[in-house]
Amino acid sequence: MNSGASSRSWRIGRRALVRAAARAGIGAAGLALVGCGEDDAETVDAVERRTERQSPAIAAQQEAQEPRLTGDHSRSAAAAQAAQQVEQDERQAAQTEAVVDREPTAVIDPIEWRERYHWRHLSELPGQMRGPQVGGELHIDSQAMRNWNPFAIDPPTVDPDDVGHLLPLVYSQLVIAEAGDQTHAHRTQVGGNLASGWEWVDSRTLIFTLSDGVAWTDHAPMNGRPLAARDVQACLDAFRQPPMRQADTYDAVQRVDAHDADRTVALHLAHPAAYLLNKMTSPWQVIVPSELVVDPDLIDWSQQTRGTGPFKLALSVANSEWELERNDAYFKRDADSGMQLPYLNAVRGTDFDFVEAVIAAGGSESVAVLGTRSSNWEAGELGSIRLSGAGDAQTAIEGVPSAALQVTPPSPGGGTHYTFRSLSDDPYRDVRVRQALSMALDRNAISRELHNGFAAADCAQNWTFVTDRSSDWGTREWPWEIGELGPHFEHNPESARGLLAAAGYTASSPLTVKVDVPAATLPTGVPAPTDSVIARLTAQTVSHFRLALGVQAAIEPRERHWAQRIDDAGQVWLEQQPDPEANLIYRTVGPVYDADPDDLAYACMHSNGRLNRAGINDPEIDEWSAQQRQAVDQAERSELLERIRRRESEQVWRVFTVNPYGIQARRENVFNLVQTYFAKSLHLAPMQLERAWMVA
């Protein structure tokens, strides 16, 4: 699940959308209904957005200011004033860009950048020698606010598509994925949290020992009682029930036993599960009191916390910001120094996408005073900033020259790809046609033109679990190069045309490819931001197909349309639906957790996988993807994962494009705030805040 930052230089995300909306007389609340956001891997697949649920103060102020649309799109005085302000902002932005872009960012060498900004250099930064410092308030850019409120959902009964990613900061997990300046950012390392240790008694029995000194908060209904093994049992039993998002983590578990006498919890499995521990580190695997599992209505989850985590919830404003304060009763200490955790006194998160939308639409001053992502960063009020490539990195460093950059690999499978409408019908049941389309794409050109060369070819598999004998730790650190992925990933128009000819497609009988492309307008009629990454990607795809395949293929862009959906909770969603005639559809992999390869190898590729949107139905893939789940031997699992990757490379069930590298900047006085290969923003590795610290 990648994340990225808005950038005037390289894409127009929500901020540009707001400018267009302001010109048409649409306020921030109207923009929320539009449902278009950043062009990253989590949002481009369905472009879904929940109708904004604002805090009463913000909603009231905006309702008073929001202009109304009329039949002739006339604008109220408020809308005109907002548009005038937007024009002034754009003139100022143009002046800024003239400075920043005086030397346009050239195509960069990702190999050189990978070394220059490698995670291992973070442990060498000035200030590290002093060691952790206690105190301070860290302000971060909270991407997790996209899901309305990161603390609002009842964890045991969480909607699979609406997860409170920051819940581990207030409700502890059994195990976590370790992240920090001293840990390996490019491989999964499981650490204990509520579990002080664990043991595989045999391949089907996993026993956790619970940490001592853990107690719930001194509030009803727990009233400060100690953590019990039955709390863990109650949560795991709830997680195991479909349609819980956590359910597939525990599909091998037959029974959970709690033993309060020796403070252990035993998981009894039907068969070995190589993925179990890694997937248990996901941030939606939190443990809450058994009383709240039985009756989740006992508290307001969005405003109250009853957890054992390192922080307590102090403020939560839907779609805007939240604040956590240190939990002085937290049970953990640093193993090396013996210092009490957490180090920070408070953490504040702001959803700058929402704030910038309100400001750009002429919204309330109470929100505008928070500033914008870039202004807060340059003013020293943000501890880190998420970036979307070399252009953003250049701008961030020019604003704060002392900042530290970190480059990480693309999140496995996080790039955009194309699926075929049907693998069992003409024309795409012929593997030669699929191979020809893949070879028509120039992935190196896409990387250069969209990401300044700062992207790798994607194949939607996790290389970090594949054997690499040249690596110090035995597995790959960086993604495969195009030459390693097989001939069908290489740009070869001549071979592509030869494959089409062999399949019977000629100038007189061409292949018809109806390519799914983004909608040209938003639901309100406002022109869509055509310079977005996805819009440019699909335009390039169409162009590459036409140039490479020539008269043997008729390439037809098929525009998406907007549809409204109301979910079971009565929430309104607007989403782009592919045109029914489109037969080559752009997608992202979906909600996977890449700390383990299982979701990519099984959920996305098994014929019964929950994320198999490509229609893959291959008996050997089914066998291998099921076997890798039980392969507790690393070498055996690596070989199975490689078989899966090679088979898809041959069969081209999906046409992959490229996946940009991750990059973030953080201030020189902030430590242990990192990106990992699977988490490009804090919301997938939140527990690093337990050990994050600042130098005053």
266-278 pLDDT, tens per residue? Answer: 999 999 999 999 9
Does pLDDT of 391 surpass 90?
Answer: no
Do 686 and 656 fall within a single domain? no
Pinpoint the alpha helices (H) of 240-343. Answer: 276-280, 290-294
In terms of DSSP bridges, do strands 384-386 and 662-666 run parallel, antiparallel, or are they unpaired?
A: antiparallel
DSSP at 105: P
DSSP assignment of 521-581 equals: B-TTSPBP-TTSHHHHHHHHHHHHHHHHHGGGEEEEEEE-EEEEEE-TT--EEEEEE--TT
Q: What is the CATH classification number for the domain harbouring 689?
A: 3.40.190.10
Do 327 and 421 fall within a single domain? no
Does pLDDT of 355 surpass 50?
Answer: yes
Do 421 and 517 fall within a single domain? yes
Look at residue 667 and tell me if it is in a domain.
no
Q: Could you tell me which residues are beta bridge partners of residue 103?
A: none
Domain that holds residue 460: 417-592+652-660
pLDDT given for residue 195 in this prediction: 98
Do 656 and 678 fall within a single domain? no
Task: For residues 563 and 579, give the distance between their C-alpha atoms in angstroms, rounded to a whole number.
Answer: 11
Do 656 and 677 fall within a single domain? no
Q: Which two structure tokens, joined as six digits, stand for 287?
A: 């443990």
Angle between helices 493-502 and 431-440 (to 10 degrees): 160
Burial class (CB within 10 angstroms; exposed 0-12, middle 13-18, buried 19+) of 626: middle
Residues 6 or more apart whose CB falls under 8 angstroms from that of 292 comprise 154, 156, 221, 298, 299, 306
Look at residue 577 and tell me if it is in a domain.
yes
Do 287 and 189 fall within a single domain? yes
Look at residue 18 and tell me if it is in a domain.
no
The residue among 271, 261, 258, 270 whose CA lies nearest residue 229 is: 258
Higher pLDDT, 531 or 323: 323
Look at residue 119 and tell me if it is in a domain.
no
pLDDT given for residue 115 in this prediction: 95
Look at residue 284 and tell me if it is in a domain.
yes
Does pLDDT of 289 surpass 60?
Answer: yes
**Residue 59: C-alpha distances to residues 15, 24, 166, 572 (Å):** 19, 20, 25, 17
CB-CB contact of 131 with 334 (8 Å): no
pLDDT level of residue 67 (50, 70, 90 thresholds): very low
Task: For residues 50 and 152, give the distance between their C-alpha atoms in angstroms, rounded to a whole number.
Answer: 14
Do 182 and 307 fall within a single domain? yes
Burial class (CB within 10 angstroms; exposed 0-12, middle 13-18, buried 19+) of 667: buried
**What percent of the chain lies above the pLDDT cut of 90?**
61
Do 429 and 565 fall within a single domain? yes
Give pLDDT tens digits for 24-53: 333 322 232 222 322 333 333 333 333 333
Do 341 and 425 fall within a single domain? no
| Structural domain total, the chain | 2
Look at residue 480 and tell me if it is in a domain.
yes
Give pLDDT tens digits for 196-226: 999 999 999 999 999 999 999 998 889 999 9
CB-CB contact of 620 with 473 (8 Å): no
Strand, helix or coil at 61?
Answer: helix
Do 562 and 463 fall within a single domain? yes
Residues 6 or more apart whose CB falls under 8 angstroms from that of 141 comprise 5, 349, 350, 352, 373, 382, 384, 385, 386
The residue among 187, 170, 165 whose CA lies nearest residue 178 is: 187
**Identity of residue 316:** S
Residues 6 or more apart whose CB falls under 8 angstroms from that of 413 comprise 458, 460, 461, 462, 589, 592, 594, 600, 604, 659
Give pLDDT tens digits for 641-664: 999 999 999 999 999 999 999 999
DSSP at 646: H
Q: What is the CATH classification number for the domain harbouring 656?
A: 3.10.105
Look at residue 186 and tell me if it is in a domain.
yes
Do 149 and 262 fall within a single domain? yes
Look at residue 337 and tell me if it is in a domain.
yes
Do 166 and 249 fall within a single domain? yes
Name the region of 671 (left: φ>0; alpha: ψ -120 to 50; beta: rest). beta
